[in-house]
Amino acid sequence: MKATDSVDSQPNCHWLVLVPTPFELAKIQNASLTLVEQPGTRVELCGFGPIVPAAKSTELIQILRPKQVLLMGIAGAYNGRLKKGAASTFHNVGCFGVGVGSKENFQSADSAGWNQWSDGTGQTIGDLIELNPDFTEHELRTLVTATACSGSSSDVEQRISMFENAVAEDMEGFAVAVACKMANIRLTIVRGISNDAGDRNKTNWCVDDAILAATLLAEKIIKRSN
């Protein structure tokens, strides 16, 4: 089922593939139609940023009842820890920007002693969520979801200092992870590295290569799971 088709209430969905923006989706479709036309796979937009994707993912999970979710798109790498034009999965996803203060005075929710979610019975969500380990074939890698992209090297250093294994940042991963955790569905995140985080000069970016690498890796993961 293509992402352009309407979401129906009679699902037959093994994989729900989520893509943040129409820009990324169009490039994924240009890279390969195999992914968007895979039987049992639904490709849908989830929205941009750390808020809308949580709501949209929850809605799509409720309607489609997928067995697994895969979020894909582009991301920025921290200090060359991942190669531009390549793609990666991640062991966990962290949240940066929710807490107290700003800049050098920022405290994360965890460090301030707050859970982002607690049901009163011991189930909590802090600043780090574990992802599906089945498709991670490399050393421990943390994806950081930020409320705003890094705009400088000092932004990057602050985020790295808060997450020991941070290698890249996005703006949607943690939101989708929250939706999946609450629905008890495994989430795999695939990100193509389009740029070095903090570099806003888009002439240095490798968006097309990043999207192609992410698409090929997502296809491999879905094929292997079938």
Q: Give the tens place of pLDDT for each residue, 164-197.
A: 999 999 999 999 999 999 999 999 999 999 999 9
**Ramachandran angles phi, psi of 106, nearest 5°:** -70, 135
Looking at residues 215-226, what average pLDDT do you find? Answer: 91
| Nearest one of 85, 91, 8 to 42, comparing CA atoms | 8
pLDDT, position 39: 86
- Report whether 12 contacts 42 (CB < 8 A): no
Q: What is the pLDDT of residues 109-136, one digit of tens each?
A: 999 999 999 987 778 999 999 999 899 8
Which residue segments constitute the domains of the chain, with CATH numbers given?
15-225 (3.40.50.1580)
Per-residue pLDDT at 99:
92
**Those residues with Cβ within 8 angstroms of residue 105's Cβ, 6 or more apart along the chain or in another chain:** none
Per-residue pLDDT, 10: 46
Q: pLDDT tens, 65-94?
A: 999 999 999 999 999 999 999 999 999 999
Whole-model pTM? Answer: 0.93
Q: Is the pLDDT of residue 2 over 70?
A: no
Averaged pLDDT, 151-171: 96
In the chain, which ranges are E strands? 15-19, 41-45, 68-77, 87-88, 92-96, 99-100, 107-108, 117-118, 124-125, 128-130, 142-146, 166-170, 186-196
All residues at 6 or more sequence positions from 78 whose CB lies less than 8 Å from its CB, including other chains:
144, 156, 159, 160, 166, 167, 168, 169, 196, 197
Whether the predicted pLDDT of 5 surpasses 70: no
Q: Residue 59, class by beta-carbon neighbours within 10 Å (0-12 exposed, 13-18 middle, 19+ buried)? A: middle
Is the separation of the CB atoms in 162 and 94 below 8 Å? yes
